[in-house]
Chains A and B, each alone.
Chain A
Amino acid sequence: KAGVTQTPRYLIKTRGQQVTLSCSPISGHRSVSWYQQTPGQGLQFLFEYFSETQRNKGNFPGRFSGRQFSNSRSEMNVSTLELGDSALYLCASSLDETGSDSGANVLTFGAGSRLTVL
């Protein structure tokens, strides 16, 4: 079973540009979440999509946006890039079976897209 695939793995942008990152979830997983990882800040929740709808949103500015397609693939976009946006962006997918303690709602992460803003 293929894991969560994120593209591109590495990219370099300059301030003011915009970037789009892609995520293909595990087959059958309906929920896709995005996290930003920076040194000293851990993983910060960006947003979560389910059935093409944003279901949860973290505390990030409107420059950060995302979407999910009918095949559950997801993209996130960051516009007007700032130096502080340099980070590892992680996508995770899950089956979304609420109320279970069996681990069914465990998030499976991709390897991430490392963005450097110059």
Chain B
Amino acid sequence: DQQVKQNSPSLSVQEGRISILNCDYTNSMFDYFLWYKKYPAEGPTFLISISSIKDKNEDGRFTVFLNKSAKHLSLHIVPSQPGDSAVYFCAASALSNTDKLIFGTGTRLQVFP
């Protein structure tokens, strides 16, 4: 049973536009959410996180939105750059146990010029 779902396996966006990556979760015990980015032949790297006490967190071009009632979060990248092309993984955990992350299956983002 996939507790964290990324229903779009791929997304293609033009440079300068907004990229929106979506993630849904089913476990109401999750209260800490993260986004990781992965380039080929490298391990995932942390991008941004949000706890359930917030509904938005920003870091430069990256913003994560959390809708607890809908069990949905999204990552916005504005403006998108070609270097953002990578696989993005959504992950969730309980704040009491943030070392056990449940990951989604990933969304491959391609930003074209």
Contact = CB atoms under 8 A, between A and B. Distances in A.
Interface string A95-118: 010110101011111111000000
B44 A56 contact: no
Contact of A108 (B34, B46, B91): B46
B76 to A, nearest CB: 19
Instruction: Categorize the interface residue count of chain A.
Output: 20 to 34
Given A35-B103, A42-B89, A105 B43 contact: no
B35 to A, nearest CB: 11
A97 B99 CA distance: 10
A79 B99 CA distance: 25
Q: From DSSP, what is the main secondary structure of chain B's interface residues?
A: strand
A55 to B, nearest CB: 7
Contacts of A58: 100
Sorting the interface of chain B by its residue count into under 10, 10 to 19, 20 to 34 or 35 or more gives: 20 to 34
B99 A103 contact: no
A110 B89 CA distance: 16
Contacts of A43: 44, 89, 91, 101, 103
Interface of A: 4, 31, 33, 35, 40-45, 48, 50, 55-56, 58, 90, 92, 94, 96, 98-99, 101, 103, 105-112
25 contacts: A33-B99, A35-B103, A41-B105, A42-B104, A43-B101, A44-B103, A45-B102, A45-B103, A50-B99, A56-B97, A58-B100, A90-B44, A94-B98, A98-B95, A99-B95, A99-B96, A103-B46, A105-B98, A106-B34, A106-B46, A107-B101, A109-B43, A109-B44, A111-B43, A112-B43
